[in-house]
Amino acid sequence: MNELELKISNSQKHLSKIENTNSRFGKEDKVKLAKAAKEFESMLTQMMLNSMSKTTGGLLGEEGYGNDMFDSVFEQHIAGEISNSKSLGLAESIYKKVTGEDFDPELLSKAFQREKSINRDEIKIKGMEKIHGIKPSNGSLNRIEKFDNIIEEAAKEYGVNKNIIKSVIMTESAGNHKAVSSAKAKGLMQLMDSTASDLGVRNSFDPSENINGGTKYLAQMLRQYGGDLKLALAAYNAGPGNVDKYNGIPPFEETQSYITKVMGYINHFNKSES
């Protein structure tokens, strides 16, 4: 997909053709419109940030494993902060053009309060319905094949299905045993130094040590959450503290996407064996 170049000198001019309908909207509709307008402003801001930062190789630079993913998360966070500060005023303009009324900040407050009141057990992982379409690349499959014996031994040692281990490796590092994230997580299962030390891993770049350490930690998370794989994966990605804090899968887009991806790979490996 080609990158979208943004050259906007007047962020309001594209709204000039929207007719002021003076329609009457119910309270629920106004809340939805206010939230949608603010989200659109945030999305546009993120696109502008992306366009401005691409000449430097991204906000975090070109070097480092996973920087592209962290760039996206960082840009999204900054865009949200800029949008919430009302420095653009775009959301307010959109709302007024559509409803004919001035933007009421209380509408957004109501929308976010409603989201917070959702029972965490009812949070659905975005994209989970798409797991059947997730497939690893041939290159990553070739890389991970070298570690099949280590994975099978770790699976027997810690009682974790080998396809779960493979899928976590595939999601964490795509089978690259030398991978280093911008957060300094290392190796096939992306272990932080402190976690690796607690697990008895001396060299995170050693495939055998890394896989055994990562599988041991995954087994601990599975036991901690009563065998619930999705919660264990959420803890592996976001930390058990966040799982406990939200009493379930944290509402983090990165974590939810992570779980979806791992589950997709598991489905792929299971089908390959059938």
DSSP 8-state symbol, 79: H
**CA neighbours closer than 13 Å in the CB half-sphere of residue 19:** 3
- 226 by Cβ neighbours in 10 Å (0-12 / 13-18 / 19+) ranks as exposed
Angle (deg, nearest 10), helices 207-224 and 162-173? 110
Q: Which residue has the tokens 């000198």?
A: 9
28 annotated active-site:
no
- Number of C-beta neighbours around residue 154 at 10 A: 25
Q: What DSSP string runs through 244-273?
A: HHTTSS-S-HHHHHHHHHHHHHHHHHHHHH
Residue type, 54: K
Neighbours of 209 (CB within 10 A): 20
Which one, of 262, 264, 263, 233, lies nearest residue 134 by Cα?
A: 264
Rounded CA-CA distance 218/165 in Å is 8
Which residue in 172, 209, 254, 273 is the catalytic one? 172
Give catalytic residues, as residue numbers.
172
